[in-house]
Chains A and B, each alone.
Chain A
Amino acid sequence: MSVLIDKFDVFAGGFWLTLQICVLAAIGALILGAVVAVLRISPVPPLRAVGTAYVTVFRNMPLTVVMFFAAFGLPALGSNADFLRIPGLDAIFTRLGTDLPYFRFALIALVLYTAAFVCEALRSGVNAVPAGQAEAARSLGLTFGQNLRYVVLPQSWKASVVPLGSVIIAMIKNSALIGFFGVVGDLSATADQLTSAEGYAFVPVAIGISIGYLIMTVPLGALLDRIEKRQAVAR
């Protein structure tokens, strides 16, 4: 068990890196997912087709394939994803600015993959609003923007907050994959490093890594359960 104490800084570093990529990917996926959701509910058919195609492709593809595309396809195109070296942001998330591009590749893959699920969560929220609500708003003479702002979005937000939370939990778990794609030092890569290269006993390392992930996923899941129960009562 001493590995948990001796190597505490390694575990903590892995946890910190996993947390970093999760925060960045969550922000990116929420933004991109909202854009795709807008495309999917827009009145213009070609834009709708683009949104639908995006969701179909990324929902049915394993994240592993998306990761491979990002990690081997982008270098083949001569790109190092340098556009993600955002000044200011890379001072906080130091991995964004390094010369090794794998953190950025993994981030791109996670964002692209998760955005499809975020889009579906948001869209199912809009679908859950009864049609009479928007109709009543229109018959009151509210414009399209007012309709969305005051009637549809506040209600759809309630319906999509729990699915969105599940998507984010799923994304945290998916982020374990990045350790196998050349991102050095996240929680899953730490497991590999400590057991195979440094020869520590397996069970304590496994416990440490598990605790690292459970700290992130279990409280979030409990929070979602609470929100859902509250909403069920309110309804």
Chain B
Amino acid sequence: MSQQNSVLYDVPGPRQRRITLISSVVAAVLVLVGVYYLIYRPLDEKGQFTSELWGPLVDPGNENFSLVWDRIGIGLKNTLIAAVLAIISSLVVGTLIAVLRIQLKSLTRRRFTGLATPVSYLLRGLSVLLSAVTRFCVEVFRGLPVVITIFFVARGFPEFGITFDTLWYLVIGLTIYNSVVIAEILRSGMEGLPGGQAEAAAAIGLSPFQTTRMILLPQAFRIMLPALISQLVVVLKDTSLGFIISYEETLNIGKQIIGALDNPIQVYAVIAVLFIAVNYSLSKLAQYVQRRLSRGRRTAGTPAQNPPPAALMSQAESSGQGV
């Protein structure tokens, strides 16, 4: 915030400070009045603050309290299970896809000399084709909404006679979408590295695969860690989509509770608070990691890397629900 102000405003003098103070008081009063008339009053008039609606959620003495929170606990557990599974598998698959695409790209540049001419042409055509196919798949799954991916998985797999728990449909759907996004993040991290890194690796005789595995990938992980963590927040948020295939995660449990107690606003408010608490601390973690990393890089004295493309970074941040 202070950085923000230093761009747009001078350091305030005594008169400006007075004006700021007065307008602060006025604004605070206006905000409070607005909250009272636009939010509190309508809610109160509809009787949304009565203890029979809030009681089961906040009053330990209520007969339903332990029952309700037991259910919410189950929902949270299911949400976390799905999130952790999806995060691990999309990290693994995403890394594999990123490495695969980098390898295929270096393969398309190879001339395959020393082989018979038809064979070398065949190999070159094959590597170009494979590279195009992976590119196509990545673009398609990056462009599809994650809701649709989950829905397709849950509808499509039984069609071919493959049935799982709903948990696995959710995990597979989330993995398909997020591994592709993570692969793009890692790939752009690797391509943003200074060219000297790969050249030096080639000069000391590492094979292209060794170069990727030992030189490029670790550095890409390091640079892209903040973007990766924001993507993990997105995965956690997206597990709430499990409700469309009736997986018993937090929101679905919330719906069941509402069915029994008929207090939608209260239940959703509690669930929203839970989600905000977890995601907010994860984003704080991402900021902390980013600070630590930038400090570490400065002391290590390595050359400044190209900044990751803004589109990818902001997509990772904003793609809430996949996006």
Q: Which residues of A contact B (CB under 8 A)?
A: 40-41, 43-48, 50, 56-57, 59-65, 68-69, 72-73, 76-78, 113, 117, 120-121, 123-124, 126-127, 129, 131, 134, 138, 144, 147-148, 152, 159, 162-163, 165-167, 169-177, 180, 188, 191-192, 195-196, 202-203, 206, 209-210, 213-214, 217-218, 221, 224-225, 228
**Contact residue among B4, B151, B268, B276 (Cβ-Cβ distance under 8 Å from A126):** B4
- When distances are taken between beta carbons in the complex, the residues of chain A under 8 Å from B283 are 59-60
Chain A residues with CB under 8 Å of B6's CB are 131
Q: Could you show 19 A-B contacts with beta carbons less than 8 Å apart?
A: A47-B27, A60-B279, A62-B321, A69-B265, A73-B268, A77-B43, A117-B318, A127-B7, A134-B8, A147-B8, A148-B8, A166-B315, A166-B319, A172-B145, A173-B147, A173-B323, A177-B145, A177-B241, A206-B156
Complex alpha-carbon distance, A178 and B167, angstroms? 22
User: Which residues of chain B in 16-37 are interfacial with respect to chain A, using CB atoms and an 8 Å cutoff?
Assistant: 20, 23-24, 27-28, 31
Do A64 and B241 have beta carbons less than 8 Å apart? yes
Query: Given the complex, which residues of A lie within 8 Å of B280, measured CB to CB?
Result: 56, 60
How far apart are the CA atoms of A81 and B153 in the complex, in Å?
Answer: 34
Q: Interface with A: B107-115, B294-302, B306-314, which one?
A: B306-314
Query: Are B8 and A167 touching (Cβ within 8 A)?
Result: no
Interface size on B, residues (CB 8 A): 67
**Contact at B28–A46, with CB atoms within 8 Å?**
yes
Q: Which of B3, B147, B317, B318 contacts A188 (CB 8 A)?
A: B147
A48: min CB distance to chain B, Å:
7
| B148 and A174 contacting across the interface, CB-CB below 8 Å | no
Q: A45-B24, A206-B152 are in contact. Are A129 and B7 (CB under 8 A)?
A: yes
A72 contacts B258, C-beta separation under 8 Å: yes
Q: How far apart are the CA atoms of A214 and B143 in the complex, in Å? A: 6
Give complex CA distance A191, B159 in Å: 14
Name the contact of B309 in the complex, choosing from A177, A202, A206, A228 (C-beta under 8 A). Answer: A228
Bound CA–CA A83/B11 (angstroms): 43
Report the Cα distance A60→B155, complex, angstroms: 29
In chain B, residues 156-170, which have Cβ atoms closer than 8 Å to a Cβ of chain A? 156, 159
Chain A residues contacting B12 (CB-CB under 8 Å) are: 43
Residues of A with C-beta under 8 A to B23: 44
Q: Which residue of B lies closest to A167 (CB)?
A: B318
**Chain B 236-247 interface 0/1 with A at a Cβ cutoff of 8 Å (1 = within):** 011011011000
C-alpha spacing A45/B275, complex, angstroms: 26
* Contacting pair B322 A62 (CB below 8 A): no
A-side contacts of B255, CB under 8 Å: 68
> CA separation between A224 and B260, bound complex, in Å?
48
- B74 within 8 Å of A by Cβ? no
Taking a contact as CB atoms under 8 Å apart, the answer to whether A43 and B20 are in contact is yes
Q: How far is the CA of A50 from the CA of B147 in the complex (A)?
A: 31
Known contacts A60-B279, A152-B7, A214-B144, then 5 further A-B pairs from the complex at CB < 8 Å, ordered by chain A residue: A44-B24, A188-B148, A202-B155, A213-B148, A225-B311
CB within 8 A of A65: which of B31, B46, B272?
B272
- Whether the Cβ atoms of B144 and A210 lie closer than 8 Å is yes
Asked if residues B145 and A174 are in contact (CB atoms below 8 Å), the reply is: yes
Asked if B232 is at the interface of the complex by the 8 Å CB criterion, the answer is: no
B-side contacts of A203, CB under 8 Å: 156, 159
What residues on A are CB-neighbors of B320 within 8 Å? Answer: 59, 62-63, 113, 117, 170, 174
Complex contacts, A167 vs chain B, CB 8 Å? 314, 318
Q: Report yes or no: B24 in contact with A73, Cβ–Cβ below 8 A.
A: no
